Amino acid sequence: MSKHAVIGFARSIAPTLDGIGIRLQVICPGGVDTALPPPDLRIAGRVFAPPSYIADGVLHALEVGAAGDVWMATDAGLPYWKYEFTPIPRAAPVPVD
């Protein structure tokens, strides 16, 4: 839920900030291999990427990204990718009497 909150907040304010020269983007890393994850999370099959992979993902987003982009950095050795949101269909306006 915390990643969803960050993404929603960033996407809602990115257009306004872009208008004043601030480009806001979000990086969503998977597990990062630091001292923070407790031992019980370090189970077989769970991927923890090195911090350098996440840092390179940030640089990649800065080089090619646009305001409001959400970038995924999930596993070292895999490319970073921009998440494409499904457009929200717009309902026809309701006439007001």
pTM: 0.69
Of the pLDDT bands very low, low, confident and very high (cuts 50, 70, 90), residue 73 is confident
Query: Is 91 or 34 the better-scoring residue by pLDDT?
Result: 34
Q: What one-character DSSP code corresponds to residue 75?
A: S
CA 26 from centroid of its chain's CA atoms: 4
Q: Can you tell me the mean pLDDT for 56-73?
A: 89
Q: Give the containing element (helix H, strand E) for 4.
A: helix 2-18
What's residue 13's pLDDT?
92
11-50 pLDDT per residue, tens = 999 999 999 999 999 888 878 888 888 888 777 777 788 8
The pLDDT of residue 69 is above 80: yes
